[in-house]
Amino acid sequence: MSGWNNPTIYAGQTRIAIETNDWRVLDDLYSYTLRFSGPQLNAGAILNSLNPDRATEKIAFTGIFESGGIYALITPTFGYWSTKTQGGEFLNSGNIILTSNINQARPGRVEFRSYNDDGNFKFFSSIDDFQLALDPYRGMFKTQKWDAQHLTPALILKLSGHFGPDAYTVVSPKTVTRQP
Q: What is the mean pLDDT of residues 6-24?
A: 83
Q: Residue 157 has what pLDDT?
A: 94
Half-sphere exposure of 67 (CA within 13 A, CB side): 1
**pTM for the full predicted model:** 0.80
Cβ neighbours for 131, distance < 8 A, ≥ 6 positions apart: 40, 43
Pairing outcome for strands 46-49 and 109-114: unpaired
Q: Judge whether 29 and 18 are in contact, CB under 8 Å.
A: yes
Q: Which helix (H) or strand (E) holds 91?
A: strand 90-104
CA distance 148 to 159: 29
Q: Residue 36 has what pLDDT?
A: 64
Q: What is the length of the chain?
A: 180
For 100-132, how does the pLDDT look when each residue is reduced to its tens digit (9 = 90+)? 888 999 999 999 887 765 568 899 999 999 988
Angle at 4 between CA 111 and CA 119, to 5 degrees: 15
Q: Residue 141 has what pLDDT?
A: 58
CB atoms within 10 A of CB 31: 21
CA distance 170 to 35: 15
